[in-house]
Structure 1
Amino acid sequence: MAERPRRWPVAAGLALLLLLGYAAIAALLYARQDALVYYPTHTRVAATQTDFEVPVGDIRLRGWRVNPGRRDALLYFGGNAERIEAWREPFAEWFPTRTVYLVAYRGYGASEGEPGQDAILADALALYDEVRQRHPDGDIAVIGRSLGSGVAAHVAARRPVARLALVTPFDGLAEVGQAHYPWLPVRWLMRERYPSTEWLHDYRGQVLVLRAGRDRVVPPANTDRLLQALPLPAQVVDFPQAGHDDLSDDPRYGEALARFMSQSMR
């Protein structure tokens, strides 16, 4: 009697399918992570709507300057889908003694180029250096929100920044991704890492952190790990009922930032 062909065990077949599906999802995450991190589409405006620009290599970064002519300056780095021009009027009111620079990341707003971690970080330092030339005797403070908290941390680690305000910040973007996808090896897959705890390891300036208790984008645990890693205690204003996007609707948001930027240096 002829021997029947051996059949692949059903369990092994299912396991192989699951493994292939897992590998496919991981590969997709790796290949499309730029699209998951950066959302510039709804931020774009015409260059003619801006009033400030900085040449960086072969591109131009564009944005807005608020309260021109002040001795001190403030740089703002926004979130990954944020229309930063919406802050022109509030920032003019909250920071009357500072010239505020709202400059879009490359590929955002009216800025040229394509977003990516290395380029955005280099652009942020170039912006700081341009502002330093315009304010040679002044203080330059920095605010970073969400994704921008990582950019702000990088600037503060590499340039003189006495006041650093971080809104819904994270310990690292890879760690945030891992929190959202605990079943994937996100820490190994992420290129866009923004390791804020690493960058701020030796930072000795004043830090303000605005923390959202119901943040579903940057889990509060990631904010807490950043706070624990800072070499000096930060000032923390907690918004226990706020989420990632509605934090700034609370009147205490502007009050906290304005107070931090105006208080005397310790």
Structure 2
Amino acid sequence: MMRTAAGILITAAVLYAFACLVLFLSQRSLIFFPQPRRSGSEAGIMKLRVDDGELNVTTRALTVPDAVLYFGGNAEDVSGSLPDLAAAFSQQALYLMHYRGYGGSAGKPSQAALFADALALFDQVQARHPHVTVIGRSLGSGVALYLASARPVARLVLVTPYDSMVELAAGQFPLMPVRYLMTDKFESWRYAPLVKVPTTLVTAENDAVIPRASTDLLLTRFQPGIARQVVIAGTGHNTVSGSPLYALALAATAR
């Protein structure tokens, strides 16, 4: 009887360890969903040189002092966001990054790569435009927030942002030691206290992907007077940008 019980425990432990290994090895396929570029011409693409090759950046080039950098969601073709951003920021140059593996960009995505690429893009854009607003949506909110903590951005806009992606994953896999397995943690709470520029959190009222509690917690991480929250009523994580109030919220952040 004891041998049987011991055998069951050993088998369960082996299966659990195997499940942990599978989760560890496949974690980036659960975070990143690269998309092809579906709109825009090659004439509107800027090439950003990085260590893995070149990244594509969808642009609307204007010779003006103000620019907007946009970092999209984990399954977003950012070229599709160009019309909405062009309407909201009519007087700014626009730069929308296709992450590594997305939209024809070289390489494979990771937190470290996205953070490094965001810094490289900012440095290149700021050389042309001294005032740079940074926008990040969903996954990209963590990229934008990190960038704003490390570079002198003019303004920061976070759309459907999270406090910590590793905490979101822990909620999805409550029986797994996600906090120890996850390498791309995207812990926005680490960088929010370092941000010193006006910041707007645009929240979908009925977000079923990033719980409202995570966004609300992130809001508390900023220094007093830095961040404000705009809640778009009646919208979800993937429908917030379809609301006329979303366009107004973005336009209100324009210089």
In the other structure, the counterpart of 1:3 is none
* Partners of 1:172 and 1:196 within 8 A in 2: yes
Kindly provide the amino acid, as one letter, of the partner of residue 99 in structure 1. Answer: A
- Structure 2 unmatched ranges of 5 or more: none
Quote the Cα distance in structure 2 between the aligned partners of 1:70 and 1:43: 30
Q: Distance in 2 between matches of 1:76 and 1:173?
A: 19
Q: How does 1:103-252 map to 2 (within 5 A)?
A: 103-135=97-129, 138-233=130-225, 234-252=227-245
The C-alpha deviation readout for 1:45-69, integer Å capped at 9, x for no partner, is 6984752111123511112212522
Aligned equivalents of 1:14, 1:244: Cα separation in 2: 43
Cα displacement string for residues 69-95 of structure 1 (whole angstroms, at most 9, x for unaligned residues): 222011000001101111222211110
Conserved 8 A contact 2:62-2:93: yes
CA contact (8 A) 2:24 2:181 kept: yes
Deviations 1:151-183 (A, max 9, x none): 001100100013100011111211111122222
Q: CA deviation at 1:107?
A: 1.1
Question: Per-residue deviation at 1:114?
Answer: 1.2
Residues 5-25 of structure 1: per-residue CA shift (max 9 Å, x gap): x6633x544444333332222
1:22 pairs with 2:16: yes
Of 224, 233, 248, which residue of structure 2 is paired with 1:255?
Answer: 248
For residues 6 and 231 of structure 2, the distance between their equivalents in structure 1, rounded to whole angstroms, comes to 50
What displacement does 1:216 show?
2.4
* Structure 2 residue corresponding to 1:76, chosen from 62, 70, 89: 70
Residue type of the alignment partner of 1:224: D
1:18–1:58 distance in 2 versus 1, CA, 3 Å: closer
Q: How big is the shift at 1:117?
A: 1.3
CA distance in 1, matches of 2:78, 2:38: 11
TM-score normalised by the chain length of structure 2: 0.92
Partners in 2 of 1:49 and 1:35 — Cα distance? 31
Q: Measure, in 2, the Cα distance between the counterparts of 1:203 and 1:67.
A: 27
Name the aligned partner's letter for residue 56 of structure 1.
Answer: V
Q: What is the TM-score normalised by the length of structure 1?
A: 0.88
Looking at structure 2, the residues matched to 7 and 105 of structure 1 have their Cα atoms a distance apart, in angstroms, of: 54
Give identity over the alignment, percent.
38
Return the match for 2:30 from 15, 26, 36. 36
SS of the residue 2:254 aligns to = helix
Task: Report if aligned partners of 1:45, 1:110 keep a CA contact under 8 Å in 2.
Answer: no
Letter in 2 for 1:195: E
| Larger Rg, first or second structure (1 or 2) | 1
Amino acid corresponding to residue 249 of structure 1 in structure 2: G
Verify: 1:60 aligned to 2:54, yes or no: yes
Shift of 1:202: 2.2
For the pair 1:8 / 2:8, whether they are aligned, the reply is no
